[in-house]
Amino acid sequence: MKTIARCLLVGLGGLVGCTVDTDTAPLGAPAFSGEGYRPIYVSAEQIKQVTTVAPQPLRKPGKIYVKGNYLFINEQGKGIHLIDNANPASPRKLSFINIPGNVDIAVKGNLMYADNGRDFVVLDISDPTQVTIQKRIENAFPLQSFPPYINTYFECIDETKGVVIGWEKVKMSRPKCYR
């Protein structure tokens, strides 16, 4: 009985993981629609460039944190919008904290904790208009080798092109990877 259970678990793991295939669609996969996900790359040097820049348009917001009169709004894959909310009827965009590959943030006191691609960074936000890196832990997060969607086709990652900071849906020939 244990052997059968192990075989089922191994088989299930194969179905849930991602597949690399060159000729045919994976078993049970939908027909390829002509669209798939392509990785967005930046160089290893670019991903470490955490900077405060001019306000940016809010396009794909994530978490929101409040610190005093300031709002920190995560822009998925890009960084953090800083908004002065002293007058809630008329919030003012102050700046954008560029953190390539950022998906999640947390704030405690004067510190913001954020992912920066595979790295974990601790930022001093005591002066929210001039954020500084206090600490960086390299390779704290595992390499994400597939898009955050299931039952989808995608271009396989090529680490020689750089670090993946996101995915974009585009028209393409049937790619070799599926998840």
Is 50 exceeded by the pLDDT of residue 11? Answer: no
CA distance linking residue 127 with residue 124, whole number of Å: 8
pLDDT tens across 100-111, in order?
999 999 999 999
| Band (170; pLDDT cuts 50, 70, 90) | very high
pLDDT tens across 24-77, in order?
677 778 889 999 999 999 998 998 999 999 999 999 999 999 988 999 999 988
**Longest Cα–Cα distance in the chain:** 66
| Band (133; pLDDT cuts 50, 70, 90) | very high
CA distance linking residue 153 with residue 31, whole number of Å: 10
Which pLDDT does position 17 carry in this prediction?
Answer: 52
Is 50 exceeded by the pLDDT of residue 118? Answer: yes
CA distance linking residue 63 with residue 106, whole number of Å: 9
CA distance linking residue 80 with residue 116, whole number of Å: 11
Helical ranges in 107-168 per DSSP H: none
pTM value is: 0.75
- What is the residue-averaged pLDDT of the chain? 86
Closest CA to 71 of 133, 132, 116, 128: 128
Cβ-based neighbour number of residue 36 at 10 Å? 22
Is 80 exceeded by the pLDDT of residue 6? Answer: no
CA distance linking residue 142 with residue 140, whole number of Å: 7
For the chain, domains (ranges, CATH) are 2-42+142-178 (no CATH), 50-137 (2.40.10)
Is 50 exceeded by the pLDDT of residue 159? Answer: yes
| pLDDT over 90 percentage in the chain | 60
Is 50 exceeded by the pLDDT of residue 9? Answer: no
Which pLDDT does position 23 carry in this prediction?
Answer: 55
| Band (13; pLDDT cuts 50, 70, 90) | very low
